A = this chain, B = another copy of it.
């Protein structure tokens, strides 16, 4: 026998902290519902080939399943745990294509798993809250404004403040690289994505030494990735670099449209939505707008939300063109900064029932009747289990942390905080 220890990267919380977490999730879900998104919930388990279909670093961090029983059939040999909610959505949209009404707006809140090194705000099991809108063949650019707007509202709903949307468009970077006659745009994009982490010198070094770029081109690429709203118009900054390409222009037009739309929708919070060409997002499936949200109060936390537009989400699974726009909110990461350590030892008020004593020996069912009436009115109630002495029953109420105690014997309710006692009518009484 030994006391179990926590498993690194798999956080768990006290009942009060859990109630706090659940209330955040409920608020986020309510914002999603108000905007017409329907929840789905797919299994946490997917086929390995599905999980690997989107490229990126997925394979590195993947958890696969195995049966402990060595005699079990190998049916499960190709199953793993999902690492995000986008890949399952692609698989879901392909598998249920004929049943889904498009445009399909779905929300999904659930656990994901990555075998990465646990560190600040990074967990091995973590909850993501996603919204995506999918359509067949095309989807208006308006949704590139809509989706970040909803995420903005969701963040406001859970009282996260001082955050910044950093917005770019994959076409800008790809178009710029093409105008520089750089062919392996994916590789260069991935290097530029790291500029914030590894710094400009290291980026130039990697681009010249590993990707074979001339130092001139490497310098221009780096300057491109350094462009953001805080230095003035994006378009002008790009033009100064002397780059020209149809895809680049298209990207700049889209970026203007999206940023303009967000600024006009959120006139009081324009500073929240900024352009930043260093943002590319890791996955290969983004083809247009890309979004990241940084929480300025907690810079070391990294991105608390991200997403973008994909030209064709489900191309690995079905011969249908399903473009979409979506974002994902890192609930566990955000909660790691909102959780209150002092909530570790107490129960959540909203789940603490009114305690009804069991003192009336002549009417032994009275306490149960009181409880039943309160519950029908939506008020949580608990009857002390035994006809013990009054002191013992009050001690129990105290240990449970119940604010209100109803005395069944004389129909009185006591507020344990103020000490006030009033007559108790189970049909009419309202907790203060």
Contact = CB atoms under 8 A, between A and B. Distances in A.
A423 interface: no
B34 A375 contact: yes
Interface in A30-50: 33-48, 50
A416 to B, nearest CB: 14
A115 B76 contact: yes
Contact of A40 (B8, B13, B368): B13
Interface string A51-81: 0000000011111111111001001100111
Nearest to A72: B115
Interface stretch (A99-107, A175-183, A224-232): A99-107
B40 A101 contact: no
Contacts of A92: 12
A89 to B, nearest CB: 12
A143 interface: yes
Q: How many copies are assembled?
A: 2
B34 A381 contact: yes
Contacts of A265: 368
A66 to B, nearest CB: 5
A386 interface: yes
A4 to B, nearest CB: 5
B65 A64 contact: yes
Contact of A39 (B22, B63, B94): B22
Given A4-B94, A33-B380, A101-B399, A39 B19 contact: yes
A28 to B, nearest CB: 14
A111 interface: yes
Nearest to A6: B95
A60 B353 CA distance: 40
A270 interface: no
A44 B40 CA distance: 19
Contacts of A80: 68
B115 A69 contact: yes
A415 interface: no
A357 B379 CA distance: 41
A422 interface: no
B319 A43 contact: no
Nearest to A94: B3
A75 B34 CA distance: 43
